[in-house]
Amino acid sequence: MSDTPVIGVLALQGDVREHLIALASADALARPVRRPEELAEVDGLVVPGGESTTMSKLAVLFGMLEPLRERVAAEMPVYGTCAGMILLADKILDPSPSSQLRSSRGYPISGQETIGGIDMIVRRNAFGRQNESFEAAVDVAGIEGGPVEGVFIRAPWVESVGARAQVVAEHGGHIVGVRQGNALATSFHPELTGDHRLHAYFVDMVRASG
């Protein structure tokens, strides 16, 4: 791998353009990824924010889900934001009352597949609906220069992590950032702020992976 790694952004749905810009500003060669053959050509991948159920269904439709699972299991560096965090979780909880029993047992939501890769349980839309979106300063372990500005839009939080996962950020008493090996996930959108330190951190993760 050269000093300019090739990093893809899963381009099935969501805020793809913003991640491509942020990665390019962090000295990566950024490109959209929609097909398995494009996935095979990248050194790392960003799974963007968007609508996690739609993204999971499109991943199945485009024949991407199993290749994604295989690359992540093989320790390809991956970074998920908001919906991307949900898709990188091993288990999902649904906040809706109709799913209360299923959620209490930590079962995945009906119809939603995940890529997995991080030993965590994530609750969807935990911070509220679209009109309850907010911004907040978040301290992230490993990021120098002070807190990053986190944009929380229908954001999830992490209910719990397993022994292999490391909590790297919290807000309001909830886990909003997790790293496990070459996998990183945040509840918030750093790509929407103009502060690209988290993307630079991920680019360094890709470089370090060799």
Question: Which residues does the annotation mark as catalytic?
Answer: 82, 189, 191
* 32 DSSP β-pair partners: 9
Instruction: Write the single-letter amino acid at 110.
Output: S
Say if residues 29 and 203 touch (Cβ distance below 8 Å): no
Q: Residue 124 corresponds to which tokens in the numbers above? A: 């969807």
The one-letter amino acid code at 183 reads A
Q: How many residues does the chain have?
A: 210
How many angstroms separate the CA atoms of 71 and 140, rounded?
26
Q: Which two tokens stand for residue 148?
A: 């990053």
